Structure 1
Amino acid sequence: SNNYGYQSRGYYASLLAGSRGHKVIPTVETMIDLSERKLYDHALPELELALNKCRKDLGGVFPHKVCIFFGIGPSRVWDRFAKLLFDWFRAPALEVHITDSAQWASIRKIGFHPLARMTEEEEKRFLQCLETYTNREWRDTKGRTPSRYTFATLVDPHEELPPSEISSLRYWAKIAEKMGVEIEPITKKDLAKLANYDALFIRETTSISNHTYRFARRAQQEGMPVIDDPLSMI
């Protein structure tokens, strides 16, 4: 759809697909998040850090707008920023409007890039990114282990005051194993494989401005039980 506004055709298509248990991008939540800047302000500090790393790598030649398709940027230099943006806002086509000063590039606006307004070059790149995205490896979680369920536990081994001690998590894993549940620790680098699990348990200090919120959002989008859920963090 070219329209993602509230109660638009795209909005209702996403709402209907979600109600039927289908995996859909963008979700209604993503549409609402991008409807106003104040709803995605919390994501900007982390995104702008990645953006300015791209700025440095590009050597001062910086566009006022960049289009990200399925988490893929116009060149490899944009990889980190593009993946991070897609982690925050899972949508087929996004456009980021940038204000570039002498020392720092800031994000003025994030929005959906309408398919109908794509140039011939953008349409070609969009189709290439779509093929890359749909051809990525899909893992069968049920075949991984003999356990009935596999719970991902998000931890930071370097956190000084974690919500749970490692010894407590190990004891919990032993109890869970007796009940046919495998507990697998994951870190912030494992977002891409989150859909392999049946549930997510976040055992880091949570914040809406870091990766823990993205993990919770992604789990919710995948229809997985998650503690803490995004609303609790907010």
Structure 2
Amino acid sequence: MTWVILTGRQSDLDQVATPHKIITNRDYLAHPSLFRGQRPKVINLSNNYGYQSRGYYASLLASSRGHKVIPTVETMIDLSERKLYEHALPELELALNKCRKDLGGAFPQKVCIFFGIGPSKIWDRFAKLLFDWFRAPALEVHIKDSAEWASIRKIGFHPLARMTEDEEKSFIQCLETYTNREWRDTKGRTPARYTFATLVDPHEELPPSEISSLRYWAKIAEKMGVEIEPITKRDLAKLANYDALFIRETTSISNHT
């Protein structure tokens, strides 16, 4: 099995840190004859995955060459904006909050996940689920914690150039673990058959349903092929785009409800 690691600069990763071949994304893009007749597995560690960057084109070209690559262009696009990955948050936050007891009741503001491996076994369930959703070498998850529920503020890539010395050591260990595993493709997500709008007022002091209950409901609905999308009164003009409306805001004859 041939593994190829792409970096933004030759100095980003020391060749002695891994037995696998390391080349820059520039060289990978400039030499189409590389690995001709082979089907290597490519780990793209570019420092920039932005649209039309070298990192972006390296994964795009890898796919066109028939090379297995992480992250794919689809993953890069998914993580470019919160609205493109917010459909994954209910399931991820449910797994995240199951870690609370083992973490002593409080979450860090940020956690790094390398190849689906967390900083300790406490994070296993969440880390594996995150990697299943977004197959990327290094991700950082920013967490907003409250007494009731820990929510995910942001999911983003964590490039080598921004890693601390300890993070890089952990990353190398996780890289070795990952490359010794059998390659697994990302699980396919069944497209939703229906979309339900859920009318909420984020500023309501005593709402009919707690946010945690709605998130759990969204997780159950997803398994049944139903996508739950929260809306507010400003979105009422778009109601025709949904299959159903679930009102989780206190109703009154004197307002929009």
Determine if the alignment matches structure 1 residue 21 to structure 2 residue 87.
no
Are the aligned partners of 2:132 and 2:187 in contact in 1 as well (CA < 8 Å)? Answer: no
Are the aligned partners of 2:135 and 2:186 in contact in 1 as well (CA < 8 Å)? Answer: no
Are the aligned partners of 1:94 and 1:111 in contact in 2 as well (CA < 8 Å)? Answer: yes
Distance 1:180 1:74, change over 3 A: closer
Instruction: Specify the SS of the correspondent of 1:211.
Output: coil
Match of 1:182 in 2: 227
Distance 1:45 1:208, change over 3 A: farther
Q: Which one has a bigger Cα radius of gyration?
A: 2
Distance 1:178 1:52, change over 3 A: closer
Cα RMSD (Å) = 12.3
Distance 1:24 1:43, change over 3 A: same
Moved segments of 4+, more than 3 Å: 137-212
Q: Distance in 2 between matches of 1:89 and 1:210?
A: 41
List gaps (5 residues or longer) in structure 1: 213-234
Residue 15 of structure 1 and its aligned partner are, at CA, apart by 0.3
Aligned residues: 212
Distance 1:14 1:123, change over 3 A: same
Are the aligned partners of 2:199 and 2:245 in contact in 1 as well (CA < 8 Å)? Answer: yes
Residue 162 of structure 1 and its aligned partner are, at CA, apart by 34
Residue 62 of structure 1 and its aligned partner are, at CA, apart by 1.5
Residue 61 of structure 1 and its aligned partner are, at CA, apart by 3.2
Question: How big is each residue's C-alpha offset from its partner over 1:95-116, in whole Å with a ceiling of 9 and x where there is no partner?
Answer: 0000001111000000000110
Distance 1:210 1:40, change over 3 A: farther
Question: How big is each residue's C-alpha offset from its partner over 1:102-145, in whole Å with a ceiling of 9 and x where there is no partner?
Answer: 11100000000011010010000000000000011469999999
Where do 1:86-165 residues align within 5 Å? 86-137=131-182
Residue 210 of structure 1 and its aligned partner are, at CA, apart by 34
Normalized against structure 2, the TM-score is what? Answer: 0.54
Q: Distance in 2 between matches of 1:114 and 1:151?
A: 37
Q: Distance in 2 between matches of 1:68 and 1:97?
A: 11
Are the aligned partners of 1:2 and 1:116 in contact in 2 as well (CA < 8 Å)? Answer: yes
Distance 1:155 1:75, change over 3 A: farther
Comparing 132-141 and 46-55, the one that deviates more = 132-141
List gaps (5 residues or longer) in structure 2: 1-45
